[in-house]
Amino acid sequence: MTEAEFIRLRDAITAATGDRHLPELYRTLVLTTRTRRFTLHPEPVRTSSSESVTILHTLLGIELKIGKHRLACPDLATARYLQVFARLGLTEVAVPYDISQLPRIADELESGWQYFRLLVENRTAELPPRTRRTVRNRLLEQVRLAIEALGSGDKMPTFNQNTRQRTIAR
């Protein structure tokens, strides 16, 4: 596949996903709210397949397994949210501070991820397996770079606390 064909395919997939494109979902659903930075793993973990990122239900709670690394999560919604970004190989991501929004955002991100995968599979079905893997990895790299360019937010959220100080009459 030539570079021009890859660019046409990438643009077609981006146009087809529209509002469900992962960087667009991240920008509109996550970065427009108050967030905190979350480190998934200190070094990038490139997974060979999305199956190497799984959610585990253990006796101690819910964990997200990224390759050989395990990450404790407070609830299932957080694990589902982080799983999408771990599949892309991101090291840091912004997490909404309001955890009541996480299930809805995780649903949107997961459906965007599945739609992206289906589009890539359908558009590359006629290619040889090795070329298909290369194109898929390059497309995932493009999505990862777009999300990294958007940023992972501040380490801690900012709290605007405007308090008035009373003046004491003497």
What pLDDT digit, counting tens, does each position of 16-64 carry? 998 999 999 999 999 988 898 999 876 666 655 555 899 999 998 999 9
Q: To which residue do tokens 């077609």 refer?
A: 12
pLDDT for position 28: 94
In whole angstroms, give the CA distance from residue 115 to residue 109: 10
Is the pTM here over 0.85, yes or no? Answer: no
pLDDT tens per residue, range 86-98:
999 898 999 998 8
Q: How far apart are CA 133 and CA 110, in angstroms?
A: 21
Give the whole-angstrom CA distance, residue 74 versus residue 63. Answer: 8
Q: Do 108 and 96 touch, CB atoms closer than 8 A?
A: no
Residue found by looking up tokens 């008035």 in the block: 164
pLDDT reading at 145 higher than 80: yes
